[in-house]
Structure 1
C-alpha cells in the first residue's frame, strides 16, 4: 500500500501536523545527539492529564450539599453534553452513509450454532450501486472487517469490537441479555467506522455492507508493505526524540487505562455483592410472608415489611441490570480503545524510527561520497507526517466521543441510582402509614 494523504482527509477537516516541518536540511540537524526514547514507551506515572495534555494539579472545588447546586451542576453537564454532541455531529446534514445493526437471529445446524445480525445501510454515495442494502452478518464477519481496516489503514484508529465474551463468567452466549449487549456494541462499532471521514471510504467496508457472501480468505494473513518495511528497518532502533504531544498522549493513555481498570474491577465486585445481597433479600422477604400467616395480630405489619423488601428487591435488580448491560460494557470498550490507541502510537513510533534510520544512513553516505539524498528518505518522511496528521485527527475525534459517551453514562448511572432509592424510600414510607394505622386501631380497641 502506498501511503499518502488518506482519501477524505481534506473534506473531513483533518489538519496536517505542523509541529514537525522536516525539510531535509532540518531533518539532518535533528540527528544531533539527544535523549533516546524507546519505541515501546509507557509509564506508571499517575499524572493529571486533560485530553493528553499535561496540566498542573489544582485542588478540587468543594462540592455543594444543596439540592439547588446539584440541579445546576446536572443542568451544566447536560448543556456540555449537548454542546459536545452538536460539535461531533456538526456535519450531520452532509453525512451520506447511515448504518444500523439490529434483529439478531439464532441459527442452528449440525456443525455449529451462531447468531447473525441484520446490517442495514442507507447512502447516496456513488461508490454504492443502490441507495439501500440489508445483509446479515455474524460476529466473525465484523472481526474480518476490523482486521482488513487495520491492514489497509495502519495510520488510523480503528474502533474496537466487543470481546468474544463481554464479561468473565458468561456461560450462555446465546442468552437474550448477552445477545442484546453484543448487538449494541456491534452497532456502535459500525456507526463509528461509517462516520469516520477516512475509514468510511474503505472498499472492505463497502463489501461488508453490500456483499451477500464475503470473500474473507483473501488477504487475511497478509501484512501491508508498509508494515513489513517498518518492522524491517525499525527493529531494535531507538527514537532520538518523540514529539512532546505524542509523549503526552502515551502518558494520558497509561493513566486513563489504569483508572478504567480500577473502576472496572470495583464495579465487577459491587455487582457480585449486589447479586449475593439480592439473594439474601429475597429470602428475607419470604420469611416475613410466612411469619405473617401465623401471627393474626401482626399480619398487616409483617405483610407490609415483606412487600417493602420485595419492592426493594425489584429496584435493586433493575440497578444491577443497568450496571451489567450498560455501565460495564462501556468501561470495557474504552479499556480496549486505549489498547488500540497505544498500538497505533507504537506504529507511529516505528514509522519515525524507519525515517530516522534511513535518514541517518543517507547522511553518512552523503558525507562519505557526496551522493544526493535518496528518494526513499523523502517517502519515509511523507509517511511519518501522514501518520502524525492522521493520529492527531483521530485522537481529537476519540476524545470527543469519549466525553460524550461518559457524560451520557454517568448521567444514566445517576438517574438509575436516584430511581432505586426513590422506590425504596416510597416503599418504606408506605409501611410507616400502615404501622400508624395499626397503632390507631389498637388504641381504639383498648378504649372500647
Structure 2
C-alpha cells in the first residue's frame, strides 16, 4: 500500500476516536490515542458493557419471530427489469396463522413497509433502508456486488424491525411477511390518532424549549453525522488510491515476468518477484473489496439512521408544541371565564410523555446496537488489514528464501 494510503488510515482512526468519545448523546472532549489499545479502551466496547446493554432489553426482546432475506432473482419484462428477494419467516406467535412463510419482495415493497411503520408508529425510530437510487454510469444496480450489498442491507433492516418489541407486532409487518400478493393500498385506516395529530400541529406555535436530554440527543446526532461524513470521504479516497495502486502493481509484476523470459540466469529470482507482486495484488484487491462491500455500507446505514432519529426528534418536538399550544390556550380561557382545563389538553400531555418514553427507549436501544455494530466493524477492519500485511510479508519472505537458496547453489557450483 502506498505511503499516502497509510496517512489516510491514520486520519480515519483519529476520526473514529473522536466520534466514539461521544457517549449517550453527551459530547465530550478527547485526545488522540497513543496506541491501538487505548483506542479500544475509548470505544468502551468491552463485554461487560455489551452485557449491560443486553440486560436492559432482556425482558423486552422478542425471540419468537425470525426473518431472513436472501436468494435475489432478476426479473425481466417488457415494461421493467427488477430484483426480488426471498423473505423467509419462522414464528410461534398467535398473530400468524402458520409457523413458517416464504414470500418474494422487491425493494419498493420494503419501502412501502417502512413508510407504513413511520405513519402508524410515529413515536418510534424506524430503521433505515439502503438508498433507492444509484448514480448511472457509476454503479450497476443489477451487478452481483450491488445486489449482494443491497440484500444484506434489506436483511438487516427487516431483522431490526422483527427484533423491536413494538414494531414487530405492527399489522403492516404481518402483511409484508405473509401476504402472497402484497396489496399496498390496504391498511390506510391503520394510521393512529397519534400519527394524525402529530402531523396537524397548531400552526404558528413556537416550541418553548426542548428538554435538556433531547437537546443532548440532537447535538450528538449533529456531531456523529459530521464524523461519519468525514470517515466516508477518507474511506472513498483510500479505495480510489488502492484501485490506482493496484493497476500500477499489476503492470509492475508483468514487467518482471517478461524480463524473466529473456534472462536465463535471473529467471528464477525474477519469476519469484513477479509471484510476490501477484500475491500482493490479490491481497490488496480483497482488502479493497472488503471496504467497499462491508465497511462503507455500515457507515451509510448509520448516516441514514441519524436522519431517521432526527425525524423522530422533530415529531417529538411537534408533539410538545401541540401540548404547549393547547395548554396555553386553555389557561387563557380559564383566566377569562374560569372554565376547567379540557380533557384534550391532558390527552396531549399523555401523548407527549408517551412520545418521550418511546424515544428514550429506542435511543438506548440504538446506542446499544451501534456499539456492537462498530465493534464488529472495527474488529473486522483490523483483521482484514492484518491478513493483508501477513500475506504480503509471507510472499516477500518466500522470495528471500529463494534468493538465499540460489546463492547457496551458486557457491556450490563455484566450489566444484
**C-alpha contact 2:126 2:161 (8 A) present in aligned 1:** yes
Larger helix percent: 2
**Alignment match, 2:71:** 103
**C-alpha contact 1:103 1:117 (8 A) present in aligned 2:** yes
1:53 aligned residue (6, 13, 26): 26
> CA 1:312–1:119 in 2, change beyond 3 Å: closer, same or farther?
same
Tell me if 1:339 matches 2:307: yes
> CA 1:446–1:265 in 2, change beyond 3 Å: closer, same or farther?
same
Distance 1:60 1:111 in 2: 55
* SS in structure 1 at match of 2:345: helix
**Alignment match, 2:346:** 378
**C-alpha contact 1:315 1:420 (8 A) present in aligned 2:** yes
* SS in structure 2 at match of 1:53: coil
C-alpha deviation, 1:278, in angstroms: 0.8
2:150 aligned residue (182, 194, 201): 182
**TM-score in terms of structure 1 length:** 0.82
Q: Please say which of residues 148-157 and 212-221 is displaced more in the overlay.
A: 212-221
Describe how 1:221-370 pairs up with structure 2 within 5 A.
Answer: 226-370=194-338
Which digits, 9 at most, give the CA deviation of each residue in 1:264-288, with x for residues without a partner? Answer: 1110111111111111111111111
For CA contacts below 8 A with separation 6 or more, give which structure has more relative contact order.
1
Distance 1:377 1:93 in 2: 33
* SS in structure 1 at match of 2:87: strand
* SS in structure 2 at match of 1:121: strand
> CA 1:198–1:269 in 2, change beyond 3 Å: closer, same or farther?
same
* SS in structure 1 at match of 2:96: coil
**C-alpha contact 2:269 2:402 (8 A) present in aligned 1:** yes
Structure 1 unaligned runs (5+)?
Answer: 1-45
C-alpha deviation, 1:441, in angstroms: 2.5
C-alpha deviation, 1:58, in angstroms: 5.2
When the two chains are superposed, the root-mean-square deviation of aligned CA atoms in Å is 2.8
Distance 1:82 1:427 in 2: 39
> CA 1:84–1:422 in 2, change beyond 3 Å: closer, same or farther?
farther
1:394 aligned residue (354, 362, 368): 362
**C-alpha contact 1:159 1:189 (8 A) present in aligned 2:** yes
> CA 1:295–1:328 in 2, change beyond 3 Å: closer, same or farther?
same
Q: Please say which of residues 92-101 and 240-249 is displaced more in the overlay.
A: 92-101
Q: Please say which of residues 175-184 and 288-297 is displaced more in the overlay.
A: 175-184
2:371 aligned residue (376, 391, 403): 403
Distance 2:256 2:20 in 1: 52
C-alpha deviation, 1:442, in angstroms: 2.6
Tell me if 1:425 matches 2:393: yes
* Count, aligned residues: 397
Tell me if 1:209 matches 2:177: yes
Which digits, 9 at most, give the CA deviation of each residue in 1:233-277, with x for residues without a partner? Answer: 344322212110000000000000100010011101111111111
**Alignment match, 1:25:** none
Structure 2 unaligned runs (5+)?
Answer: 1-18
